[in-house]
Amino acid sequence: MLSILIVEDEQAIANLIHISLSDEGYRCTCAFDGKQGADLIEQETFDLILLDIMLPEFDGYELLEYIKPTGTPVIFLTAKGAVSDRIKGLKLGADDYIVKPFQIGELLARVEAVLRRYGKSEKQLAVADVFINTDSRSVTKDGRSVDLTAKEFDLLVELVRNKNVALYRDRLYEKVWNEPFTGETRTLDTHIQRLRKKLDWEERIRTVFRIGYRLEG
Ligand code: CA
């Protein structure tokens, strides 16, 4: 499931976006000021961030600087008429902007377009001789079907969507299990072992010292 962070201090707008995107099958988290947004970005990995500009604590521009090193796509939510804000946002590296008030259809279209551009909404994923279909949740290797548990599948998709990126154990765990990481790494590690074995990927899923794992693709 793709996860979206909404940083917006107007509760009504944040709720509207939350409801609309949840209906479309995205997992949404809301932050109502810049500080809360920064804390969430530090703790979790998101596939996309919707970012208001005028925010209490840190504003959207400050937050964008904070987001950039993570490589997470950003869509700015800007007030009507603030053309200079839009230009500044794009110059600073935002992927797109949406002018408030907006139609839900436009929001969805822009969210989908940015996710597509980053290859995050692909339903068919491939690494080497392994093919994954996220609609049917099926996996084949060398044309033969591979039997994975639900968590093994989710973990595989997460690794593949972030291939060649070193993923932190805690973030990987929280993304796949959707619960806070307690420091207990056995669950994640045994799932990785099983994936390596089932896919014959002993070499391809690398252990990254003191960080976690990286899939080489
Ligand atoms: Ca605002």
Concatenated DSSP letters of 149-178: -HHHHHHHHHHHHTTTS-EEHHHHHHHHH-
Residue 68: how many other CB atoms lie within 10 Å: 13
CA distance linking residue 65 with residue 58, whole number of Å: 11
Quote the ligand 1 centre to 24 CA distance (angstroms): 24
User: Going by C-beta distance under 8 Å and a sequence separation of 6 or more, which residues neighbour residue 13?
Assistant: 52, 77, 100
pLDDT the model gives residue 153: 97
Quote the ligand 1 centre to 32 CA distance (angstroms): 9
**Tens-place pLDDT, residues 43-97:** 888 999 999 999 999 999 999 998 988 889 999 998 866 778 778 888 888 999 9
CA 138 to chain centre: 21
Q: What structural domains does the chain harbor? A: 3-117 (3.40.50.2300), 124-215 (1.10.10.10)
Residue ranges with CB less than 5 Å from ion ligand 1: 9, 52, 54
Concatenated DSSP letters of 77-131: EEETT-HHHHHHHHHTT-SEEEEES--HHHHHHHHHHHHHHTT-S-SEEEETTEE
Quote the ligand 1 centre to 147 CA distance (angstroms): 47
Quote the ligand 1 centre to 202 CA distance (angstroms): 48
Closest CA to 156 of 212, 199, 187: 199
Quote the ligand 1 centre to 11 CA distance (angstroms): 10
Q: Which amino acid is at 178?
A: N
Determine contact, residues 165/181, Cβ cutoff 8 Å.
Answer: no
Q: Which residue has the higher pLDDT, 71 or 215?
A: 215
pLDDT the model gives residue 84: 80
Quote the ligand 1 centre to 77 CA distance (angstroms): 9
For 134, which DSSP code?
Answer: T
pLDDT the model gives residue 22: 95
**Tens-place pLDDT, residues 154-210:** 999 999 988 888 999 998 998 899 888 898 889 999 999 999 999 999 999 999 999
Quote the ligand 1 centre to 12 CA distance (angstroms): 11
Whole-model pTM over 0.75: no
Quote the ligand 1 centre to 175 CA distance (angstroms): 28
Quote the ligand 1 centre to 65 CA distance (angstroms): 18
Quote the ligand 1 centre to 114 CA distance (angstroms): 22
Determine contact, residues 171/162, Cβ cutoff 8 Å.
Answer: no
CA distance linking residue 88 with residue 34, whole number of Å: 18
Determine contact, residues 72/47, Cβ cutoff 8 Å.
Answer: yes
**Tens-place pLDDT, residues 11-31:** 999 999 999 999 998 999 999
Q: Report the DSSP beta bridge partners of residue 213.
A: 167, 207
Quote the ligand 1 centre to 46 CA distance (angstroms): 21
Quote the ligand 1 centre to 52 CA distance (angstroms): 6
